[in-house]
Amino acid sequence: MPMSIALAGKGGTGKTTTAGFLVKYLLKNGKSPILAVDADSNVNFNEVLGLEATDSLGQAREEMKKGDVPSGMTKDVFMSMRLEQAVIESGDFDLVVMGQPEGAGCYCAANTLLTNFLERLSENYSYIVMDNEAGMEHISRLTTKNIDVLLIVTDASRRGLQAAIRIHELAGGLHIGVQRSCLIINQAKGEPPEEVLAKVRDAGLEYIGSVPADDMVYEFDFKGRPMIEMPEDSPVVQAAFAAFDRFMQDA
């Protein structure tokens, strides 16, 4: 079974960027093959990884619903073929994108399709990095389940920390098979004060490090450059790698 790492956190905390740094970290340490998963309907993990999102699971399902099935082919065979085609292959890792749901406000079928497809794909990879949508909905819909590490990303704000703790508590309350919950404080101006760390410990979260704010991140984002290409000697990348070491050293 692959090691699965799912990212969560409120919007704007740098969750997707952190997911990209994690893929970079795994590649640097020879931990492959890797499947990167964009489980957010607002697709942007591909941009962080420097890939073009040419296909998605949602698009494949829409084609089946519209009857775009070749003559003589069953729907099951068609969907199996289209799902395989939806895997975006790279030289070092692959990416699969959930994409848009089939109707306004309805994500259930898309999530079910993603979950079932990942079960089929998992045996082909040693590591799965899943970038989830912001907030807690992916937890309550059970898109994120049976994972080794729930990596929760927050900023240094009070609301961000509260959201991180709620995500951790919800995951625990639903008994969805999370083996380990880790917290990264992103865009930090220094190490968090003891009162913050005490709150994290009291909630049962494992604090693994902070990542400083850095103008290079904003420059890459503004210019549309893949975050995975940021230099390894960047303070942001080094801090992220140090945090990942804390849960990967036991893997």
- Calculate mean pLDDT across residues 39-50: 86
Domain range list for the chain: 3-248
Alpha-carbon torsion angle 53, 20, 227, 42, nearest 10 = 40
Q: What's the CATH code, domain 3-248?
A: 3.40.50.300
- Calculate mean pLDDT across residues 74-101: 81
Q: What is the pLDDT of residues 114-162, one digit of tens each?
A: 677 777 777 889 999 999 877 666 555 545 567 899 999 999 888 889 9
Q: What is the pLDDT of residues 163-194, one digit of tens each?
A: 899 989 888 877 777 889 999 999 988 888 89
The structure's pTM equals 0.88
